[in-house]
Copies of this chain bind each other. A is one copy, B any other.
C-alpha cells in the first residue's frame, strides 16, 4: 500500500497562498524529497470568495478551520494565520488529533511556546517553526542542529525588515524618522499602523525564539527588554556616522557567565550603534541578517530576505519536508531543548556600552565635571570627542562596558548638572570590543 502525505493549510494570505502554490508547482520534487506524494487536503480561510494569488481546486477551501484540523486523515497542519487566537487553539487541536504542525507564528511562539512544545511532546508529534524568524533565512535549524555541539555565546540579529529599511533610509539620506517611515509605508515596507514593527514588538518576539534555541532555556516575549526606533533622530544617525558607525535595531541575545558557574541570559531589542566594519552594518534596505558568535565556530552570519510571501513559504516548505519524512518514518525530530533552564537577567544588570552626546557650556572644567559623573557611577570612559561651537560645546562620550543601570544613572546624573544644557543623544553601542 503506497502511503501519501496529507496536508492542511490554515490561512491563505500572502504566505499561505505561496505555500499552496509551492505545494502544487513542486509536487513532483516534494514527492521525491519526502519519499511519498504530498496531497493538499484543505485550506482554511476567513472568506471563501476573497481574491487570492493562487488557484485552489474546488472543495479544498473551507471556513471551518476547527473541523479541518479535527479530520482524522490529516498528517500535517501548516498554520500561517498568525496572531494568538484562533491559531493556538487550532495548533493544539491539530497536535491532539495526531497531526504534526509547521507554523510561521512568531507572536504565538514567543508568548506561549512552552504550551505548544509540551502539547507536541505529549502527542509525539513535531512542531517546526523555521519561518517564524527572519523569513527565508535558515537560522533556527542551524542554531538547533548545526551548532548543537558548540556553545553559542551571542546572537545579534537584524530581524525586522521595516525598521531596517527606515534606519537605512535615515542613514543614506539624512531623513528623520517620520519622513523615512512615510517612505517605507509608500513602498509597502511598513503597514498603515506600524506599531508592531517600529516599537520593536516583532523583533522582541523573534529575540525570544532565538534566545530560547541558542541557550536551551525558555525565554518568552515578556522576558525581552524592548525599545523601538521611534525616538531615533537624524542627529543620532549623524552622531553614529561621525564615529564610523551606523544605527540598527538589534535583537540581542547574550550568554552571561555568573559568579558560581551558573550562566544567565540577557535578551533585548533596541537601536544601537555598530561599527561600519561589522558584517551587520552592510545589511541594507529591508533585508535581515543574524550574526552568531559561538565558542568553537567563531563568528557566523546568515543573510537574506526576512519577510515576504514566497521567502516565508520557502521556509515553511523546508520544515514540511523534514516533518513529512518524520511522519513517514513514524519518528519525531528533536523537540524543545530547555534543559539549561537559565535565568533571564533584568535589563539593569545587563552589560552594555553607551554613546552619549551632550551640549555643555563652553568653559573650563566642563570635561572634568562630566568625567566625574561617569566615574561616580563606576563607568569608565573609552573615548571623548569635544566640539566647540559659538558659545557652547558638544561632548560625545563613549563608555566602556557597564551595567545598564549604572549607565542609565550616569545619564540621569548628567541631565542634572548645571553645565549640561541638554543630553542630545543616548544610544547603546554594540558589535565592538568591550
Contacts and interface: CB of A to CB of B under 8 A. Distances in A.
B296 A311 contact: yes
A81 to B, nearest CB: 19
B148 A300 contact: no
Contacts of A26: 149-151
Interface stretch (A179-187, A313-321, A401-409): A313-321
A325 B334 contact: yes
B149 A138 contact: no
Contact of A296 (B18, B141, B297, B300): B18
A149 to B, nearest CB: 2
Interface stretch (A29-37, A47-55, A222-230): A29-37
27 contacts: A22-B296, A26-B149, A26-B151, A32-B216, A32-B337, A32-B339, A33-B339, A130-B146, A136-B298, A138-B138, A138-B142, A138-B300, A141-B141, A142-B142, A145-B321, A145-B322, A146-B315, A147-B314, A148-B321, A149-B314, A149-B317, A149-B318, A296-B313, A298-B305, A298-B310, A299-B304, A302-B303
A282 B146 CA distance: 24
A279 B107 CA distance: 30
A13 to B, nearest CB: 16
Contacts of A299: 304-305
B317 A148 contact: yes
A136 B314 contact: no
Copies of the chain in the assembly: 2
Interface string A324-339: 0100010100100101
Contacts of A300: 136-138, 302-304
A303 B282 CA distance: 13
Given A33-B216, A151-B29, A337-B33, A297 B136 contact: yes
Contacts of A304: 297-301
Most buried by B among A279, A294, A295: A279
Interface string A126-148: 00001000001110011001111
Contact of A297 (B32, B147, B294, B311): B311
A340 interface: yes
A319 B340 CA distance: 21
A319 B319 CA distance: 18
Contacts of A33: 148-149, 216, 337, 339
A141 B145 contact: yes
A221 to B, nearest CB: 25
Contacts of A150: 22, 26, 314, 317-318
Contact of A301 (B32, B303, B308, B340): B303
Given A141-B142, A279-B303, A30 B297 contact: no
Contacts of A313: 149, 296
A296 B147 contact: no
Contacts of A310: 295-298
Nearest to A35: B334
A324 to B, nearest CB: 9
A331 B26 CA distance: 27
Given A296-B313, A325-B334, A146 B303 contact: no
Contacts of A303: 279, 300-303
Contacts of A317: 148-150, 296
A282 B215 CA distance: 30
Contacts of A22: 149-150, 296
